[in-house]
Amino acid sequence: MKKALLGAFLLSAGALSAQAQISAGTKLLTGSIGYSQQKQETSSPIIRGQRLDVKYKQFNFNPSGGYFVADNLALGITGGLYLAASQNYNYALSLGQVQKEERKTRALSGGIFGRYYKFLGDKFALYGQLGGGYQNVYNSNSPDVAAPYPITSRQWGLYANLLPGIVFFPVDKLGLELALRGVRYGHVKTAYGQNGLRTTDSSFNFGFGLNDLNLGISLYLGRN
């Protein structure tokens, strides 16, 4: 009897293990999209009675596609689009007046990634993703009055990132993802449009807090 129960347990564990994986040959389509907008009304102590609107909005879209070259291991390509616009007010001491600033940012990126999954039962899996690629960022600043700083700038260079995440599978071919920003390294050059100045910068940052969480959805085409 004990041998029969042990055999049944081993068969059940084997079946669970066989189900709790993503087989080689599966195709991965994933991505995230986000939009936010803020508006704040404030009054200027310099211009009495005048209300100033401070606005900010952003949009991001990050699609990715990959192929499982081995069980639970996917390699693929990724892209990114980021758009942001803001309207703010600053007091220019040298000019003796309040000036409105409108800033816009457009960022494009593309690269490769590798992702490995570690399943926690049938429905949940942890994953780690390592990636890198190229990025191009354009910034513009349009003040009401002339300013002694550059109005436009462009950045380009390489980046690398490492991020953790968790995915829930309501069905085998659909995953709901929750990922952290993780660790990111960038090496970029910046060219300022007005005076020809160029700089080279390296940056290292990380995010593991609640504000660094990103939601996403993924499709696992051909998963058995």
pLDDT tens digit string along 162-194?
A: 999 999 999 999 999 998 888 999 999 999 876
Q: Provide the residue range defining the domain that includes 103.
A: 2-221
- With a CB cutoff of 8 Å and minimum separation 6, the contacts of 138 are 105, 106, 107, 152, 153, 154, 155
Indicate the pLDDT class of residue 114, thresholds 50, 70 and 90.
very high
CATH for 88? 2.40.160.20
- Write the DSSP symbol of residue 50: -
pLDDT tens digit string along 64-83?
A: 999 999 999 999 999 999 99
Q: Per the structure, how many domains does the chain have?
A: 1
Beta partners for residue 160, in sequence order? 132, 185
What is residue 32's predicted lDDT score, i.e. its pLDDT?
Answer: 81
What is residue 101's predicted lDDT score, i.e. its pLDDT?
Answer: 80
What is residue 7's predicted lDDT score, i.e. its pLDDT?
Answer: 46
What is residue 34's predicted lDDT score, i.e. its pLDDT?
Answer: 81
Rounded to an integer, the average pLDDT of 25-34 is 90
What percent of the chain is predicted at pLDDT more than 70? 79
Report the b/e string of 53-91 with b at 16+ CB within 10 A.
eeeeeeebebebbbbbeeebebebebebebebbbbbbee
What is residue 134's predicted lDDT score, i.e. its pLDDT?
Answer: 97
Report the b/e string of 181-198 with b at 16+ CB within 10 A.
bbbbebebebebeeeeee
CA angle 182, 199, 104 (to 5 degrees): 65
Inform me whether the pLDDT recorded for 2 exceeds 50: no
Between residues 15 and 60, the one the model is more confident about: 60
What is residue 157's predicted lDDT score, i.e. its pLDDT?
Answer: 96
Rounded to an integer, the average pLDDT of 97-110 is 85
pTM: 0.72
What is residue 5's predicted lDDT score, i.e. its pLDDT?
Answer: 37
Backbone angles phi, psi at 67, to 5 degrees: -140, 135
Contact 167, 176 (CB under 8 A): yes
Between residues 216 and 148, the one the model is more confident about: 216
C-alpha span between 70 and 76 (Å, rounded): 13
pLDDT tens digit string along 3-14?
A: 443 344 334 444
C-alpha span between 104 and 80 (Å, rounded): 17
Contact 154, 104 (CB under 8 A): no
Inform me whether the pLDDT recorded for 23 exceeds 70: yes
